[in-house]
A and B are shown apart, each in its own frame.
Chain A
Amino acid sequence: MTTLTLIQFQSHQLEPIDMELGSGECITLSGPSGSGKTLLLRALADLDPHQGEVRLDDQPQNRIPAPEWRRQVGLLPTESHWWHESIGPHIPAIDGTILHNLGFEDKCLEWQVSRLSSGERQRLALARLLSNQPKVLLLDEPTANLDAENAQRVEQVIQQYRQDSGCSVIWVSHTLEQRQRVGERGYIIKGNRLEPEAWT
């Protein structure tokens, strides 16, 4: 079973964090803009230098080759980037069910990236990330550009993937209702400290 353990983990200006994220568990993260949520996720995905330790199961981050770590600890950034002309080459090992559940048909793989709306890109970026079968998901506002219907689809796909794979999730969200709906516990950044968020 997968656990993500942070030991005195320090990113950017945040104080060191100790935290354990159990298998299949989903915690939410909130806090004002610029408080370092995105930077914390980037550090966990090993995209930015950081201090302290983070372990996947019993393996410290620096014992796992960086590309392998990033495949297992998958980050979904707020803004997705695409480098081939059409969608297909970005997602070689696509799971058709996930595409359908996100509201797409198989032929969407032939679409030109430049013609997608930002919402379509965001959902397809999730499909692309899940095709790597990560053990931990770091989601940076995954429903920010979506209408209510698509936001619900995204939430369902993520919950389904959690159940099927036992994947753990850190979910950055600005709406309290969503945090309470998807997460088991919440954290909030106040100043430069990460504190448990009280849900009453």
Chain B
Amino acid sequence: MDLITLSPLDLSIAAVLVLALAIISWRLQLGVEKRLLLAALRSVIQLGLLGLVLKTLFAQSNPWLIGLLCLFMLVVAGYEVMARQQRRFTGPWGMGIGTLSMFISSFSITLLALQLVVRVEPWYTPQYLIPLLGMLLGNTMSGIAIAMDNLTHNTWLQRGSIEGRLILGESWSSAIADIRRDALRAGLIPIINAMATAGIVSLPGMMTGQILAGSPPLEAAKYQIMILLLIAAGTGLGAISAVWISSRHLFDERQRLRLERLTQSNRFS
């Protein structure tokens, strides 16, 4: 089966639908039409650029350029994690914790997958590395963002109880243990749900893509299984590191709760 290529005209049909949605949003005064169009425009430009960049990269296979792109993806994901926090850490910690956690989880799992599972030669073959890393970063990003937001938000709300526990002589990690556990759970639930309903309720995006591109369904399914399992492991690892580092940084060396290390609430801004 050959790949059916899409013409700009084909894409514009899909675009007209989004435009129609924007008009409906405007008529119903939902107030999301501007953001909807802007986001749609962003995705068109970003994906178009990515296609161009990957085309060049695939042709060259230069490890330095590939590394640079990986780093760029990591930094953008780190920024995105920070932007989704209602209360973020001040200073370099704000972006640092999310970025570091994603580096630990996504990069190590991608490397592991390339070396032990897919076994491509060389391991940095961009056709495999970039999509794998992208999937892992994109998904661990959500998990880490949810877990960190949950942690800082609940720490703020329950600061009285945390200090109450400190006053009675509990250690910082015991005083925040419940909140930490809830935060981890919140970060992991989306991927657990995704795994539980995969193939029944939802046909995962990557598998859909492969099938549309002409892969045999069973091959596509095997790749999707690998990706889902890797994402689950990566999200767990990333969320655990992010929550551990964040919760440690909420306390100082004398185990005092230091909420001034968080910025003011910025939801709805």
Residues of A within 8 A of B (CB): 45-49, 62, 66-68, 70-71, 74-75, 77, 79-83, 128-129, 132
Extra 6 A-B pairs, beta carbons < 8 Å, given A47-B163, A49-B252? A46-B254, A47-B257, A48-B256, A67-B171, A80-B164, A132-B168
A-B contact count (CB 8 A): 52
Measured CA separation A79–B159 after assembly (Å): 12
Q: Which A residues are CB-close (under 8 A) to B163? A: 47, 77, 81
Query: Which of A48, A67, A79, A129 is in CB contact (< 8 Å) with B160?
Result: A79
Report A111 CB to chain B, min CB distance, Å. Answer: 18
Closest 6 CB pairs of A and B: A71-B169, A81-B164, A81-B160, A66-B255, A83-B161, A81-B161
Return the chain A residue nearest B167 by Cβ. Answer: A75
Q: How many residues of B are counted as interface, with CB atoms below 8 angstroms from the partner's CB atoms? A: 18
| B166 is an interface residue with CB less than 8 A from chain A | yes
Contact A70–B166 (Cβ < 8 Å): yes
Which of A48, A70, A80 has the most chain B CB within a 10 Å cutoff? A70
26 A-B contact pairs sorted by A residue (CB < 8 Å) = A46-B256, A47-B167, A47-B257, A48-B256, A49-B254, A49-B256, A62-B254, A66-B166, A66-B254, A67-B169, A67-B170, A67-B171, A67-B255, A70-B166, A70-B168, A71-B169, A74-B167, A75-B167, A77-B163, A77-B164, A81-B161, A81-B164, A83-B158, A129-B167, A129-B168, A132-B168
Return the chain A residue nearest B253 by Cβ. Answer: A66
Q: Which A residues are CB-close (under 8 A) to B158? A: 83
